[in-house]
């Protein structure tokens, strides 16, 4: 694994070394190079383009100390690098107090943007990105079946996955000259398939679907390991579970002759007591069926009854994905 850390703060060279050590501790033999943008001749930066493509690039977003009048933001570096290496993942970093100041169009220059203060999260995500892109570069994805296989779905989910592949990806699968295809696939997997509840659920959605609190689900999640997502970019933003496989495992464990509603059936799981039962955050009653935001401006989600919520106006509906909702004013 070879990566560049591009920055205008020489003190970050230590962080680059820590990232290299982190990769090596994960049994990924790595070599990192720190590129200092404070040098007036910019030779360090220009020299990288005479070398083979790296597996990953980390770049500071706010280049306040840069001596170049054109390259003043990490997003500018990202655009230059992407012209040369269109299939290399680029991760932006910045100080926590500056993160909110990064404009949305600048964020889209990166595969992700992290606070340098949260190095554990950034290092883990950077590793998954680099390994995932290495996998994408090694294979030819000529059809939707091959793309679905990268996600390693349960057998009976394969056709459903093929149906939800976005048109702009599916029509490019046969175009061997399309250098942006792997970036499109990465962003769809991480920003839609893994990010929105649908074929895959995060731990809060999974817990709510089977009627228990998230902390209780995490406690017994080993009994649902066969339903866990293990495809490309797995665990990028936390564990995910295949919704259909999770339900099948639930009913198999309980040996139910006639399946009950899952938020009722989950109360009968081994190790689950009344204190583990999920309650609606709006009315505080049993059997919430979905997860919703507290309000339009909130980033906090809780289990809720469908009737206690309304559609969130800032999210479009996506076929085969759950509708994003928020609590009603009760």
Q: Is 217 found in the same domain as 130?
A: no
Model confidence pLDDT, tens digit, residues 19-63: 999 999 999 999 999 998 876 557 788 889 999 999 999 999 988
> Could you tell me if residue 160 is inside a domain?
no
CATH number at residue 18: 3.40.50.2300
Q: Is 114 found in the same domain as 217?
A: no
Q: Is 123 found in the same domain as 19?
A: yes
Q: Is 218 found in the same domain as 113?
A: no
- Mean pLDDT of the residues in the chain: 92
Residue after which a domain boundary falls, among 136, 161, 178: 136
> Could you tell me if residue 161 is inside a domain?
no
Residue after which a domain boundary falls, among 108, 136, 164: 136
Q: Is 204 found in the same domain as 86?
A: no
> Could you tell me if residue 95 is inside a domain?
yes
Q: Is 222 found in the same domain as 96?
A: no
d(CA 110, CA 82): 10
Q: Is 318 found in the same domain as 245?
A: yes
pLDDT of residue 65: 78
Q: Does residue 7 have a pLDDT over 90?
A: yes
> Could you tell me if residue 183 is inside a domain?
no
Residue 207 is part of which domain span? Answer: 200-327
pLDDT of residue 98: 77
> Could you tell me if residue 173 is inside a domain?
no
Q: Does residue 69 have a pLDDT over 80?
A: no
By C-alpha distance, which of 246, 139, 238, 244 is closest to 185?
Answer: 139
Q: Is 207 found in the same domain as 125?
A: no
Contact 295, 279 (CB under 8 A): no
Cα angle for residues 297, 187, 70 (degrees, 5° grid): 85
Model confidence pLDDT, tens digit, residues 240-276: 999 999 999 999 999 876 678 999 999 999 999 999 9
pLDDT of residue 256: 78
Is-above-0.85 flag for pTM?
A: yes
Q: What is the mean pLDDT of residues 210-217?
A: 98
> Could you tell me if residue 10 is inside a domain?
yes
Q: Is 9 found in the same domain as 119?
A: yes
> Could you tell me if residue 154 is inside a domain?
no
> Measured in Å, how far apart are the chain's first and last C-alpha atoms?
53
Residue after which a domain boundary falls, among 113, 136, 159: 136
> Could you tell me if residue 287 is inside a domain?
yes
3-state secondary structure the chain: CEEEEEECCHHHHHHHHHHHHHHHHCCCCCEEEEEECCCCCCHHHHHHHHCCCCCEEEEECECCCCCCCCCCEHHHHHHHHHHHCCCCCEEEEECHHHHHHCCHHHHCCCCEEEECCCHHHHHHHHHHHHHHHHHHHHCCCCCHHHHHHHCCCCHHHHHHHHHHCCHHHHCCCCCCCCCCHHHHHHHHHHHHHCCCCCCEECHHHHHHHCCECHHHHHHHHHHHHHHECCCCCCCECECCEEHHHHHHHHHHHHCCCCCCCHHHHHHHCCCCCHHHECECCCCCCECCCEEEECCCCCCCEEEECHHHEEECCCCCCCCCCCCCEEECCC
Number of separate domains in the chain: 2
Q: What is the mean pLDDT of residues 284-304?
A: 97
pLDDT of residue 104: 79
Q: Is 130 found in the same domain as 54?
A: yes
Q: Is 33 found in the same domain as 114?
A: yes
């Amino acid at each position: 694994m070879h990566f560049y850390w591009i920055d205008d703060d020489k003190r970050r060279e230590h962080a680059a070394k820590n990232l290299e050590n982190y990769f090596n501790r994960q049994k990924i033999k790595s070599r990192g190079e720190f590129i200092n943008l404070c040098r007036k001749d910019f030779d360090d930066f220009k020299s990288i383009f005479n070398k083979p493509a790296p597996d990953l690039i980390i770049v500071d977003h706010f280049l306040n100390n840069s001596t170049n009048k054109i390259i003043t933001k990490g997003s500018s570096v990202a655009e230059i690098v992407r012209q040369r290496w269109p299939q290399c993942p680029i991760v932006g970093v910045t100080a926590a107090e500056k993160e909110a100041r990064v404009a949305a169009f600048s964020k889209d220059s990166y595969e992700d943007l992290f606070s340098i203060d949260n190095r554990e999260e950034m290092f883990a995500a950077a590793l998954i990105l680099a390994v995932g892109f290495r996998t994408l570069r090694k294979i030819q994805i000529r059809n939707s079946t091959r793309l679905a296989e990268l996600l390693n779905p349960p057998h009976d989910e394969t056709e459903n996955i093929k149906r939800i592949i976005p048109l702009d990806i599916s029509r490019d699968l046969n175009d061997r000259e399309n250098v942006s295809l792997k970036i499109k696939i990465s962003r769809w997997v991480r920003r839609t398939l893994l990010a929105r509840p649908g074929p895959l659920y995060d731990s809060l959605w999974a817990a709510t679907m089977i009627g228990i609190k998230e902390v209780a689900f995490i406690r017994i999640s080993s009994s649902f390991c066969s339903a866990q997502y293990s495809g490309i970019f797995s665990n990028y933003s936390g564990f995910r579970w295949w919704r259909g496989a999770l339900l099948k495992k639930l009913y198999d464990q309980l040996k139910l002759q006639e399946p009950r509603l899952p938020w009722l059936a989950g109360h009968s799981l081994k190790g689950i007591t009344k204190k583990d039962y999920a309650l609606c955050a709006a009315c505080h009653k049993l059997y919430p069926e979905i997860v919703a935001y507290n309000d339009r401006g909130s980033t906090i989600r809780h289990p809720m009854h469908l009737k206690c919520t309304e559609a969130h106006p800032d999210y479009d509906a996506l076929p085969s994905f759950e509708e994003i909702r928020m609590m009603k004013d009760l």
